[in-house]
Chain A
Amino acid sequence: MSRSAARCTGTKAAGAPALFQYCLRLGDNALVLGHRLSEWSSRAPTLEIDIALSNLALDLIGQARMLLSYAGEAEGAGRDEDALAYHRDVLDFRNVLLVEQPNGDFAHTIARHVFYAVCARAMYEALCQSRDTTLAAIAAKAVKEMTYHERYAGEWLVRLGDGTRESRTRAQAAIDRLWPLTGELFETDQVENELSARGIVPDMSGLQPLWRARIEEILARATLARPEECPMLSGGRSGHHGEHLGHLLAELQYLPRAYPGAVW
């Protein structure tokens, strides 16, 4: 992130606590997944994939900056994007469990990204209609970027699923392992119900059928099986994370915590 926080002007953040929580969830999803993807830099299977994954990471970290800046404005306690990204602990992060999962093999990274990007694209598409002009503007940019993400990850999943025996086995294993983490993407609660009743955010449960249909289309093209119905895992949005997030934050937050106020 930058030395100086991005200064954004927009609507005054009304209904601050709910809006703060909401922006934090979206911002944390983008930040954590962006950091995960950045872990591939210099380690991807080919140069083109290395560049692509780093670009995806950059988009997400850019979205996180705008969302966390706006969360800070909504909170009104003087925290900027850097304070929120670098000076909160695991329990205060509000990302879904899916995005904090380790990269695993390339198939796991791609499966995770398909699940997330298809959801995020549909969500941002709906969020473009928000009565909150700042959220609508962030969404208008993000939806175009997530269209690239959905296409990239979707096309790779098809190549892996419909590829060699090895790539197919790995792709199916990744889909099966990550599937129980997809329910959390569509959970709603008091915070979102309140904002959605005021026309500020979309109702995520209403977007789930669209997500299901798109995922089924991709899996069918990839000749992969859709996992059986199963109990879904959740808790990330209320701060109950797996052990992975702490390790991720240790790296993400090391520098500003070890050298407070450092600039370069």
Chain B
Amino acid sequence: MARPQRNDDATAAVWSLLSGVCDPEIPVLSILNLGMVRDVRMDGGGLEVVITPTYSGCPALDTIEQDIRAALARGGHGDVRVTTVLSPAWSTDWIDEEGREKLAAYGIAPPQKGGAKRSLFTAAPAIKCPHCGSRDTREVSEFGSTACKALHRCEACREPFDYFKCL
């Protein structure tokens, strides 16, 4: 999925404001790192920000919408429409390189590209420990503290860590 254009002059300032809006569950990631912002449109009807939800049941979406309005209001854009589109469906493959590096530095192993394809009765892939870098890690549970995380443990440094669930 090609990333949306962000270099057109009229909306460049808006994109820059949006880069300051973070995921409330993972505050090191901006919604741009996540690939949630699909478009920014400016026309006679005002400013429209088009976003797409990540996980179906992610409760952070309403907060993110409010945060977008607040950030843009601080930048002088009072009248903003935030529109949600479902198509094309978001994937963890849309998280950018900067986002992946920030996740690892924050202690969350970033999702493997194309990792959502794993099917029934196949072994969990070896995930690199974000603390010590070892690949000698074990899946504790595919479900963690939020909809987007799985629980893993490193057998080398013995530390538990979160893995960003592939979708």
By a CB distance below 8 angstroms, the chain B residues around A141 are 53, 55-56, 86, 89-90, 167
Task: Give 17 A-B pairs besides A147-B118, A154-B121 with Cβ atoms closer than 8 angstroms.
Answer: A7-B84, A10-B86, A48-B143, A51-B141, A51-B143, A51-B144, A52-B142, A58-B55, A62-B56, A63-B57, A65-B57, A133-B87, A137-B88, A140-B87, A141-B55, A145-B55, A148-B143
- Between A and B, 23 residue pairs with Cβ closer than 8 Å are A3-B62, A6-B53, A8-B85, A8-B86, A48-B151, A55-B143, A57-B57, A59-B56, A59-B57, A62-B55, A62-B57, A63-B57, A66-B86, A137-B87, A137-B89, A141-B55, A141-B56, A141-B90, A142-B56, A144-B166, A147-B116, A148-B142, A214-B120
Interface size class of A (residues with CB under 8 A): 35 or more
Q: A252 to nearest B CB, angstroms?
A: 16
Interface residues on B, range: 20 to 34
Check if A151 is an interface residue, CB within 8 A of chain B: yes
Chain B residues with CB under 8 A of A140: 87-89
Bound-state Cα–Cα, A7 to B94, Å:
22
Interface of B, helix, strand, loop or mixed by DSSP:
loop
> Roughly how many angstroms separate A61 CA and B120 CA in the complex, as a whole number?
23
Q: Which residue of B lies closest to A6 (CB)?
A: B84
Q: Which of B83, B120, B141 contacts A48 (CB 8 A)?
A: B141
Count A/B pairs, Cβ under 8 Å.
106
Bound complex: CA A77 to CA B96 (Å): 41
Contacts of A52 in B (CB 8 A): 141-143
Q: Would you give the 0/1 interface string for B41-73, flagging 1 where the beta carbon is closer than 8 Å to chain A?
A: 000000000000101111101100000000000
- Closest Cβ of chain B to A82, distance in Å, is 13
The 7 closest A-B pairs by CB, nearest first: A62-B57, A62-B56, A137-B87, A140-B89, A58-B57, A137-B86, A52-B143
Q: Inside 8 A of A9's CB, which chain B residues have their CB?
A: 83-85
State A51–B140 Cα separation when bound (angstroms): 12
Report the minimal beta-carbon distance from A24 to chain B, rounded to whole angstroms. Answer: 17
**Residues in chain B within 8 A of chain A (CB atoms):** 53, 55-59, 61-62, 83-91, 116, 118-121, 140-145, 147, 151, 165-167
User: Given B61, B87, B142, B166, which contacts A10 in the complex, CB threshold below 8 Å?
Assistant: B87
In the bound complex, what is the Cα–Cα distance between A221 and B120 (angstroms)? 12
Q: Provide the main secondary structure of the chain A interface.
A: helix
Contact B120 A152 (CB under 8 A): no
- Which residue on B lies nearest to A152, using beta carbons? B142
Interface string of A1-19 (1 = CB under 8 A from B): 0111011111000000000
**Cβ of B159 to closest chain A Cβ, rounded Å:** 17
